[in-house]
A and B are shown apart, each in its own frame.
Chain A
């Protein structure tokens, strides 16, 4: 089964706080795990991505933590800002063939000023 489970569905964080979004997968035929940010009416934009041979990747205020044995990965947004308010999707790329993405159901983040 190619599924990616994402939680929470929605998240409210105070400005300056840490936002944490979690994803889990069952199928091991994934080789790349990107996170996308989507604003209303826009297409998803790549935020940060990680390969399974790395346990953590940091880019500015955004960090991905990856636990290969648990088949879980998470996005941490440090010092969250109102401009971060958007919907975030985790995804997993199928290893072969099309290299299509399987997306999670999304987390709607609201950062309060």
Chain B
């Protein structure tokens, strides 16, 4: 059990650029979540995958955001035409089954200049 990993850990980009983040969940965890955390706040739910199916998206996830989880393994979160308001920590979490706790990755810190 190697834990949830995320890549990159830090990303600095200019406004208007596209960025993509990757999350590798704990193996055999079929549920994968993306959260966003801004400074001084708790994580906020963005989207959820059960295996490869994206089953819920938050209102926070504008049409500039897209997430995938091909083959139900790793997941990617892409932000197109980044804005300064997108600057945040993007956290990925996974769990095995609906009753088990979520394990979080270290996050990707995005800074949009």
Chain A residues proximal to chain B, CB less than 8 Å: 4, 6, 32, 34, 36, 41-46, 49, 89, 91, 97-106
Contacts and interface: CB of A to CB of B under 8 A. Distances in A.
B85 interface: no
A60 B94 CA distance: 26
Given A43-B91, A43-B107, A44-B104, A106 B42 contact: yes
Contacts of A44: 43, 91, 104
Given A43-B91, A89-B43, A106-B40, A98 B106 contact: no
For this complex, into which size category does the number of interface residues on chain B fall? 20 to 34
Interface of B: 4, 6, 31, 33, 35, 40-45, 48, 55-56, 91, 95, 98-99, 101-107, 109
8 tightest Cβ-Cβ pairs between the two chains A and B: A103-B42, A43-B104, A98-B48, A100-B45, A43-B106, A98-B56, A99-B98, A44-B104
